[in-house]
Chains A and B, each alone.
Chain A
Amino acid sequence: MNRAVFLYVGVLLTVLLSFTGLVSIPEKQLGGLQPLVDADGTQYPVPPTGMVAEGRGVYIADGCIYCHSQQVRPEGFGDDIERGWGTRRTVARDHIYDSPPLLGTMRTGPDLANIAVRQPSENWHLLHLYNPRITSPGSNMPAFPFLFRKVPVEVQVPHDALSFPPGWEVPGYSVVPSRRAKALVAYLKSLDHSHPVPEVPQ
């Protein structure tokens, strides 16, 4: 057995070992996790479908993950719960239908795991996406004006036009959310990890 064979075997073994430890065993342990079904038959979590799934696609395409996490850290570790970002820590089960899971690693903006609970207003979300400075002065979140259409007011005032706070109106135009904007908001309004889970004793 010469040194080259030793190198081959050693190099491959080390990486196989970590693959087994960090990927295969967790998949064994967590891959079979099932959703919870309440007494009344409602299921948690549910797979994203329809507008929610479409909105998830917009969230991915426009890279919200580079500023927002979707995971609440445990009580006593950071102050995620004190900040009102959730009532319990996030568990693996919360993400079984999330492929890829959008856990995130950056919090330039707040955690969004429970944004549906915290911010139920559709108009708030639309205004915020159109221009975050309207709702949140000093925010460095990008504006997403391309998810909206501007319609001259002489033509018509569409029923779903945004209602701006004073000073923020776009003169001569009303601003209408595109389907993608609505889908994105539908997705945000689906982000709710408040359902109790057996992993976290209440």
Chain B
Amino acid sequence: MNAATSSDAAPAAAWRAEVDASCAYPVVAFFVSAVFWLLFGTVLALLASIKMHTPGFLSGAEWLTFGRVRPVHLNTMIYGWGSMAGVGTLLWLQARLSRVRLPLQLPLVVGCALWDLGVAGGSIAILTGHGTSVEWLEFPYGWSFLFAGIFVVVMAASLMMFSARRVGHVYVSQWYLFGAVLWFPFLYVMANALIHGALARGVVQAATNWWFAHNVLGLWFTPIGLATVYYLLPKVLGRPIHSYYLSLLGFWTLALFYNWAGTHHLVGGPLPAWLITVGIVGSVMMFIPVTTVAVNHHMTMKGHFALLKVSPTLRFIVLGAMSYTVVSFQGSLQSLRTVNEVTHFTHYTIAHAHLGVYGFFTMVMFGAIYYIAPRLTGREWSSPRLIKIHFWGTALGMAVYWIGLTWGGILQGLAMDNPDVAFLDVVRHTMPYLWSRTFAGVLMAVGHVAFAILVWRMFTLKGRRLPEPASAPVVAMAGGAQ
């Protein structure tokens, strides 16, 4: 604890407890579902990874073929784990920051259950051969109506809280949450209509596809992730964010530029050159928001790195924030034509995507759940050892994953761009790196199982009662965020 603990701690603790109580059912529902899909997606990830180096593994059944398991992995991680953890966090953050009780609790719980059904149904559809082969939109068209419908409820709840907010000042996290909750439904509905509804033709569908898919990261996961970091970092440290103006600059430049980056997935493809160039420019301009956010976070953390040892929340979100910086710079660079010429179509891209969705977003969501869940149940996390296993399993796993496939991808790209290397030799060169991914996947899986056990015990109230429901060991009260 430090001096920042304010004198009006008692009433503040009271309204926080009230807000937290109003969130309990919906947010727990979203978190539990998210962790279920995390485990499910992990199993599919391992299957897909093993199949890449050992193609005979479980190859007799059509529903388990690589080309089905892989999209189910992606979609359960994106729409199951990531989005559901994101929505749970978003709802809680918005309630806390607006200082109002969470509205629409029953519709949200029902929505969560339907969302689960949607992810399950969509996954079964892909496994039974009804996937669409449109990356990030593999669930058949029909399912998109369900998700869009549920999203209306999430959007409504979030906007209701925002407009009923009892604080005049709009905190930086709220801008991001506000953006996320308006951007994603628009992206999702438009992309489905244009591609699955065939309102666009031919390669324009591909442009739409990457406008969408890149923005799932850029305008959905990234704003939720950054909102979380902007909220939790000052909370855990007990000091305000370094600079309000940097936050402002970071938000609006992200809103302006991230949007445009998607077509860098089509460099060299059959699209007008200007369209690709725009994507590259958008990607390079991302240097601005990323640098501002990195500087802002670093200056806030400065002098407090020792706290990483005691706070699991801090450890996960700081690792996540650092990954955000690295993955974004990497993304800007790899959109450049000379780099892209080598890395496009290789495992390098896969490593990059995982650094974003996993190294950044997933890590931040882990941190968020570590922070939020005790406040919903009034219990402590039951085992520091399991937390340690979770952290090191996922952190090392991610490191091995990224290093292996980044390096392997570069070698693969260089070999592929050299016509003297036979294609089967390119395949042979990548083998060790494909194995390294499976090894990384096992490490991550161990971490996920440890986390799932912790979450299970948390929500079945197995942990010790917290002495004071609204505060945890390394949490101070004030510090910019409400």
Contact = CB atoms under 8 A, between A and B. Distances in A.
Nearest to A71: B269
A1 interface: no
A100 B418 contact: no
Main secondary structure, interface of A, reads: loop
B205 A101 contact: yes
Interface in B60-110: 60-62, 65-68, 70-71
B65 A79 contact: no
Nearest to A45: B202
B66 A19 contact: no
A89 B200 contact: no
A66 B205 contact: no
Contacts, number: 222
A62 B62 contact: yes
A23 B211 contact: yes
Interface in A93-126: 94-110
Interface residues of B, number: 85
Nearest to A103: B206
Contacts of B162: 4
Interface stretch (A36-44, A143-151, A161-169): A143-151
Interface of A: 3-4, 7-8, 10-12, 14-15, 17-19, 21-23, 26-27, 29-31, 33, 59-67, 69, 71, 73-74, 77-79, 82-83, 89-92, 94-110, 132, 136-147
B268 A99 contact: no
Scoring B71, B279, B427 by chain A CB atoms within 10 A of each residue's CB, the highest score goes to B427
Main secondary structure, interface of B, reads: helix
Contacts of B424: 136-139
Given A7-B175, A89-B270, A92-B270, A30 B345 contact: no
Interface of B: 51-53, 55-56, 59-62, 65-68, 70-71, 129-135, 162-163, 170, 175, 178-179, 182-183, 186-187, 190, 194-195, 198, 200-209, 211, 215, 219, 252, 255-256, 259-260, 262-263, 265-266, 268-272, 275, 278-279, 282, 337, 341, 344-346, 349-350, 416-419, 423-424, 427-428, 430-431, 434
17 contacts: A4-B170, A18-B211, A22-B279, A26-B203, A27-B204, A30-B272, A66-B71, A77-B268, A79-B417, A100-B134, A100-B195, A100-B206, A105-B135, A107-B416, A138-B428, A139-B55, A142-B51
